[in-house]
Structure 1
Amino acid sequence: MEKDLYQQTTRVLCLTLISLLISACSPDGNNNAVNDSAQQTADSFPSQSSPTQAATTQTAIPGQAPGQGSEEKPTVIWAKPGFAPLFISEEPFKGEGTGDLIFQTLQTLLPQFNHVNTKANYTRIIAEMKKGTDICALLFYNETREDFAVYSDPLAITPSYHIYASLEGKAALDKAFGRNLSQAPLDELLSKSGDLSLLITPHQSYGKKRDDLLAKHKDSLNTQLHLTDLPAMMKIVATNRAQLMLAMPWVFNYEQDNLGLHGRTAKIELTDVPAYQASYLVCSKNPLGRQVVATINNIDPAAHTVLKDAMASWLLPEEHQDYYRAYREYFAAYASGQAPK
């Protein structure tokens, strides 16, 4: 109860701080339109901006007549793949996820565009980028996407993916390693996974090092590709229909509390991959996408300084010190050209 109260208080403080920072950094206050179109389907994505499209997605702006100025603003689609508390679409914390806060902040700092927020899974996001749709998403770096996507400077760092196993899967790994497994190199774990089934989301990047290791072992891995959301994937592993999955602890913990799955899975920390991963705004590699990314990269002060507290709002109290230390170290290394992607 005390921990929950602490986290709620921390989120309120972080939201207040972010709002103040937005007001301080925004070039002209409320002069941008945001349409939270969570029910819009991926099938309705336009392939490129047009004056008509911009007008239909505009919402009212204080002090401006309806429709005024909308014809001159291109529209950017901001894709939310779910994975609470990255993006939260249900009460009581609807719109207060880490990604929600990052999107809200960036959209306020980009008044020269209209903004449409919509839900889309990773497979559809990548497909739309390949088609040239005016779409952007918060993603990890993966060099295979550079042919059709453009990356901003890093915006945030997040505690990254570890392995979660069904209890039966954990017992099999304990036997393969000859010990009670709480930590392991991902490379070795994949090589010793045998017939255990690993649940993977198609087209999702788990960070460059993890992606490289998954590619290395792809011919020997027993993988299941799953398009569903994280809660459904967690239920599959908890009931041993698949034995392994990759998940970010802060996301897994949030859903575990909601689903009542405590004690049904086991976490295995990965020791040969980065503990924190940089996230980027990734847009289609077309004129509008390049313009959005260039604008974000020119925000002063740098966007990551405004966004750093969004991540902290969903970490446990004992995780804050380690997160801010990792944040300082990563962006110091990035400034000197030494940070990994």
Structure 2
Amino acid sequence: MKRRMLLSFLIVNIFCPLAGAKDLTWIRWDDPPIFIFSGPFKGQGVLDTVEGELRKKLPQYQHKTLEGTVPRVLKEAEGKSQICNAGWLDTPEWSKLFYFSTPVFVIPANGILLPKSRLDEVRNLAPYSLQKFLDSKKSWKLGVGRLYGEGIDEVLIKNNYQKNPQVITISTSLRVHKMLHSNRIQYTLGYPFEAVYYNELLNSKSDFVVHIPVTENSARVEVVVACPKTPWGAKVIADVDRALQNKALLEKFEKGVDRWLSAEDREKLAPARKEFYRKNYPSLK
């Protein structure tokens, strides 16, 4: 009997190594090209890459997936659920809810997205700001599908965007970009990789959408893994940080970002990437 029990124990632990693993649930939301749930580019999102690679580097966990929304991310963090996400922004406000990893990559920040053909109409507004656009282009419609972080959000709120006739609130990013490509709105806000993604998805070749930075926020942002502010969350973040001390892994993350950046944006990002490594990973060569 004892031999039989010992044999069963060995079989479970040798052939089922995850039997004793702790669960780690990753929450994701459908917001291309951050996460891409469907269509021709399914699974090629910027954070699809980060999450997928981290799963491989954290075999001590049994990884699960939860599909939700950004509000759901916050709700789960407030409830201290054992749920992490592969990409968030480290701000004083969010740090009340989350523990953050060492940054996983650096990207150009949210800015204005508009058709390239309109650039000549706004060159006199440089250096660009959202407030200048709202003040100087009163006949233009701005489409917004979400909030965009510190700096830009303050401008939207200051201009009472939900009741402002210059601003159209649109339910999804896909609708925002369809309206932009069909000239039903003249500009929107977002990351440069959103412009590249929707240019490809909507097959825009003649008048593609471009990104221009704005003065209301930083030129670059660093993205971090976020887990709830609990002892469990602190342990996961410590494990993530150990996994991140790997140049090849970080380069895979960069490749995932570069898939959705133009050659010009990649070139502009190069100095920031050097600083990213110097500041966050000085021991990696």
TM exceeding 0.5: yes
User: Which residue pairs with 1:313 in the alignment?
Assistant: 259
User: Which residue pairs with 2:232 in the alignment?
Assistant: 288
- 1:124 is displaced (CA, Å) by 2.2
- 1:247 is displaced (CA, Å) by 1.8
1:163-242 correspondence runs (5 A): 163-165=112-114, 174=121, 184-192=128-136, 194=138, 198-202=142-146, 204=147, 206-215=148-157, 217-219=158-160, 222=164, 223-228=167-172, 230-239=173-182, 242=185
Query: Which of 99, 105, 109 is equivalent to 2:53?
Result: 105
User: Normalised by the size of structure 1, how large is the TM-score?
Assistant: 0.63
- 1:278 is displaced (CA, Å) by 0.9
User: Which residue pairs with 1:162 in the alignment?
Assistant: 111
CA deviation vs aligned residue, 1:68-113 (integer Å, no higher than 9, x gap): 643x333222222233333233354432332111111111111121
Q: Which amino acid aligns with 1:324?
A: A
Q: Which amino acid aligns with 2:15?
A: Q
Residues 268/299 of structure 1: CA separation in 2 closer, same or farther (3 Å cut): closer
User: Normalised by the size of structure 2, how large is the TM-score?
Assistant: 0.73
Please say which of residues 79-88 and 278-287 is displaced more in the overlay.
Answer: 79-88
User: Which residue pairs with 1:252 in the alignment?
Assistant: 195
Query: Which of 240, 260, 272 is equivalent to 1:326?
Result: 272
Cα contact 2:109–2:213 (8 A) shared by 1: no
Q: Which amino acid aligns with 1:247?
A: G
Q: Which runs of 5+ in 2 are unaligned?
A: 1-11
Cα contact 1:207–1:277 (8 A) shared by 2: no
Q: Which amino acid aligns with 1:231?
A: L
Residues 101/220 of structure 1: CA separation in 2 closer, same or farther (3 Å cut): closer
User: Which residue pairs with 2:23 in the alignment?
Assistant: 75
Residues 191/330 of structure 1: CA separation in 2 closer, same or farther (3 Å cut): farther
Aligned mates of 1:105, 1:148 — CA distance in 2: 25
- 1:198 is displaced (CA, Å) by 3.9
Q: Which amino acid aligns with 2:275?
A: E
Aligned mates of 1:148, 1:290 — CA distance in 2: 12
Cα contact 1:312–1:320 (8 A) shared by 2: yes
Q: Percent identity?
A: 21
For 2:93, what is the secondary structure of its paired residue?
helix
CA deviation vs aligned residue, 1:30-73 (integer Å, no higher than 9, x gap): xxxxxxxxxxxxxxxxxxxxxxxxxxxxxxx9x624xx643x33
Please say which of residues 306-315 and 105-114 is displaced more in the overlay.
Answer: 306-315
Aligned residues: 264
Cα contact 1:141–1:280 (8 A) shared by 2: yes
Cα contact 1:183–1:269 (8 A) shared by 2: no
Aligned mates of 2:237, 2:32 — CA distance in 1: 25
- Which structure has the bigger radius of gyration? 2
Cα contact 1:87–1:98 (8 A) shared by 2: yes
Aligned mates of 2:107, 2:39 — CA distance in 1: 23
For 1:184, what is the secondary structure of its paired residue?
coil
User: Which residue pairs with 2:77 in the alignment?
Assistant: 129
Cα contact 2:144–2:176 (8 A) shared by 1: no
User: Which residue pairs with 2:7 in the alignment?
Assistant: none
